[in-house]
Amino acid sequence: MTLDLFADASDDPKEESASSLQARAENLRKLLHHHGHCYYTLDAPEVPDAVYDRLFQALQKIEQDHPEQRRSDSPTQRVGGAVLPAFESVRHAVPMLSIRTETDTESSGAKAFDARVRRELNLPEDAPALEYVAELKFDGLAMSLRYEQGILVQAATRGDGENGEDVTHNIRTVGQIPLQLPPGVPDVLEVRGEVYMRRDHFNQLNERQSAKIEQGAKGEKTFVNPRNAAAGAVRQLDSSIAAQRPLSFFAYGLGEAQPANAQQALFKTHYDMLQTLKSWGFPVASQTACVLGLEGLVDFHQKIAAQRDCLPFDIDGVVYKVNSLALQAQLGFVTREPRWAVAHKYPAQEALTTVLAIDVQVGRTGKLTPVAKLTPVFVGGVTVTNATLHNEDEARRKDVRVGDTVIVRRAGDVIPEVVSVLLDKRQPQAAIFTMPRICPVCASVAERDEGEVDFRCSGGLFCSAQRKQAVLHFAQRRAVEIEGLGDKLVDQLVDAGLVKTLPDLYQMSLSALSQLDRMAEKSALNLLKALETSKSTTLARFVFGLGIRHVGEATAKEFARHFGTLDALMQASQARLLEVSDVGPVVAHSVRTFFDQAHNLEVVEQLRACGVHWPEGPPAARVAQILSGMSIVLTGTLPTLEREQAKEMLEAAGAKVVGSVSKKTSYVVAGEQAGSKLEKAQALGLPVLDEAGLLRLLSGDVT
């Protein structure tokens, strides 16, 4: 497609000439038809939803401001999609129309919907709050299931809203969809919902596909996202292939029901209808809620936003519906959309941008990471300018090149990454990316050990990039903690040649520090004081601060408990290291390798000579620990305990305190302003404790 993908949709169409306006409207229509065809018919979208929405809203605005530009074949006048010729056409007795999309991702989006509904109902300002049903906006394929006398007789896709495709043979393979309903259901019942694929099932499917490709199977491919995989499974002509694809289903509405008054006789509200569908055997998302007024809508939107990244399936927003079916009928429809419902989106997790350059960053352990420098784009709630390509193999697999138009993804706190490349927009001269075989910072050889995917700089502390990261790691709060020693100051110290190894930190003079940019004498004195304070530490903090590969904070504490002294740890054989709790061959080999290097031993001895010290003693006695094997997350502010106090108490009882919530988490301890970690714990059904519960847990009263 050679049309301008980034056609300007922000200018005010009222200020354009008639010919320019007509040309832009026609261009937008062609773009929307093209991308609608790719999304609905080919199941191969070329652009993220946010780009399509932007183009759609631009055309809507032109047609609203200039009715003479409105055409019957405009994408704004119908639901996108078409029937594939390979499938039998099905005419929907009740059209499967789409609902309005609210792209204002803030609470004001919910406010606009509530105000619009109240205005349409002519409600006075002091009228009671309306009741709504709040649902998830699934990223799957809309489906209509037709039951006659309680038996599934037909399943049809949305198609163009009026006509869909008969995919009954494939939908029968979806285990969550009942083939027969209990007695008492209407003679004819059309259940509307979404066919989707769970993220874990999607990953497993792609793993199987990759294995087939590696074995030389022809015609196989991996899928870009769960939505594409689900749509591809539904549109298989061979149902045996569809049966191998792990599909799921959620119900969220009804189409036709006979006798004609069946819905009115059975339900008074949309929520009652959903609960009845659930009792008939249809899956209904557990997050669906009945909420009151604007406050309820905003609370639901924020709650689901916090849970979004840990849901087992993809969503791109939530849906609000007026709960009363009588009020729904009163509100009715406007053109292609019901007045009583809206889809309230979240910030797009995917966006389109271009690759300006591919840089290679050097980490603390020498790892070389290719990073795509991007034209700034707003995605996942922030402006993104960089996206990781992870390693050379991944960059080659995705074939990312400078100048490419790419889809970039950012979900929650995940580091932005490039999802895929739009190959049809690639410039002919774009060169394949190759990882440099020398370090871009120090020119040392970059090597890749057998069995590893990462190249690493062999320069060690000779490499200024590794040196800076090593100093920052050593100085952080969880290590020896040198207050005031941040990124910019470390850059100056290393670049000026004042710090080449860790012991150099303790040998800097006041006069040398005072000569640095923006370093007054008082600031220099404060840094020297912080350095002096940092000399008194603990064995665990010191070991962690050395930056031994694979040795995290918890492992450093285990080493300190097990050996008691640094000398005992440095002299321990690999076999003795393996005796430490939770230490495996990789960690043991890394520790042994570190202390076998003469320059590392010299750094340790020089740090000791500079006065860095810690209490030492015999190894801690091995006692049964009440929380051994448990994984616990701390979040929020506790009433009396500081975070570090609580952490130390838990670790002393044998628990591991981790930073993120997962299915493996044993407990989440939550205080005030707990935030998203608490929301994730609740979404996963994990036990949550307050400070009192934490103390009971430590005393053995909670199991």
| Dist. CA 661–CA 685, nearest whole Å | 11
pLDDT the model gives residue 12:
54
- Measured between alpha carbons, how far apart are the two ends of the chain, in Å? 61
CB burial class (10 A; 0-12, 13-18, 19+) of residue 43? buried
pLDDT the model gives residue 235:
84
Task: Report which of residues 5 and 512 the model is more confident about.
Answer: 512
| Mean pLDDT along residues 566-576 | 95
Task: Report which of residues 282 and 679 the model is more confident about.
Answer: 282
Helix runs in 155-309, H state only: 168-171, 199-214, 226-234, 239-243, 262-266, 270-279, 293-307
pLDDT the model gives residue 358:
95
| Mean pLDDT along residues 284-296 | 95
| Dist. CA 359–CA 395, nearest whole Å | 12
Indicate whether 193 pLDDT > 90. Answer: yes
Indicate whether 497 pLDDT > 50. Answer: yes
Indicate whether 77 pLDDT > 70. Answer: no
pLDDT the model gives residue 17:
79
CATH class of the domain whose range is 539-609? mainly alpha
CATH class of the domain whose range is 100-345? alpha beta
Highest mean pLDDT among 4-18, 239-253, 313-327 belongs to 313-327
| Mean pLDDT along residues 426-451 | 89
Residues annotated catalytic, as ranges:
137
CA distances for 382 relative to 54, 367, 558, angstroms: 18, 27, 38
pLDDT the model gives residue 42:
67
Q: At what angle do helices 18-36 and 49-65 cross, to 10 degrees?
A: 140
> How does pLDDT run across 127-180, given as a tens digit for each residue?
999 999 999 999 999 999 999 999 999 999 998 889 999 999 889 888 889 988
Helix (H), strand (E) counts: the chain: 25, 24
pLDDT the model gives residue 14:
52
Question: For the ranges 51-65, 81-95, 120-134, 191-205, which has the lowest average pLDDT?
Answer: 81-95
Question: For the ranges 36-45, 57-66, 558-567, which has the lowest average pLDDT?
Answer: 36-45
User: What secondary structure letter does DSSP report for 181?
Assistant: P
Question: For the ranges 39-43, 165-169, 420-424, 500-504, which has the lowest average pLDDT?
Answer: 39-43
With contact defined as beta carbons under 8 Å apart, do 14 and 65 qualify? Answer: yes
| Mean pLDDT along residues 631-653 | 85
Cross-strand partners of 578? none
> How does pLDDT run across 239-261, given as a tens digit for each residue?
888 888 889 999 999 999 988 77
pLDDT the model gives residue 530:
95
Q: Supply the pTM of this predicted model.
A: 0.64
Pick the CATH number of 350-447 from 2.40.128.130, 3.10.105.10, 2.40.50.140, 1.10.357.10: 2.40.50.140
Highest mean pLDDT among 10-14, 396-400, 515-519 belongs to 396-400
* Percentage of the chain lying above the pLDDT 70 cut: 94
* Percentage of the chain lying above the pLDDT 90 cut: 45
| Mean pLDDT along residues 207-213 | 84
> How does pLDDT run across 584-615, given as a tens digit for each residue?
898 999 899 889 888 889 989 999 999 999 99
CATH 1.10.287.610 domain position(s) in the chain:
13-77
Architecture of domain 13-77: Orthogonal Bundle (1.10)
| Dist. CA 451–CA 449, nearest whole Å | 6
What is the pLDDT of the chain when averaged over all its residues? Answer: 87
Which residue from 241, 224, 79, 92 is spatially nearest to 154, judged by alpha carbons?
A: 92
CATH 1.10.150.20 domain position(s) in the chain:
460-534, 539-609
pLDDT the model gives residue 622:
57
With contact defined as beta carbons under 8 Å apart, do 288 and 274 qualify? Answer: yes
Q: Which two tokens stand for residue 114?
A: 């509530």
pLDDT band at 78 (very low <50, low <70, confident <90, very high): low
CATH code given to domain 631-699: 3.40.50.10190
CATH class of the domain whose range is 460-534? mainly alpha
pLDDT band at 107 (very low <50, low <70, confident <90, very high): confident
| Dist. CA 317–CA 50, nearest whole Å | 12
Indicate whether 539 pLDDT > 50. Answer: yes
pLDDT the model gives residue 83:
58
| Dist. CA 346–CA 136, nearest whole Å | 11
pLDDT the model gives residue 489:
93
Indicate whether 264 pLDDT > 60. Answer: yes
Question: For the ranges 524-538, 566-580, 615-629, 646-660, which has the lowest average pLDDT?
Answer: 615-629
Question: For the ranges 76-90, 502-516, 675-689, which has the lowest average pLDDT?
Answer: 76-90
| Mean pLDDT along residues 186-199 | 94
Ranges assigned E (strand) in 51-150: 89-91, 100-102, 131-138, 141-148
CATH 3.30.470.30 domain position(s) in the chain:
100-345
| Mean pLDDT along residues 437-459 | 87
Indicate whether 410 pLDDT > 90. Answer: no
Instruction: Determine the residue type at 647.
Output: K
> How does pLDDT run across 322-370, given as a tens digit for each residue?
999 999 999 998 877 899 999 998 887 888 999 999 999 998 888 999 9
Q: Which two tokens stand for residue 115?
A: 């105000």
Virtual CA dihedral for 494, 505, 549, 631, nearest 10 degrees? -120
Indicate whether 5 pLDDT > 60. Answer: no
Determine the distance from the C-alpha atom of residue 261 to the mean position of all C-alpha atoms in its chain, rounded to a whole number.
Answer: 44
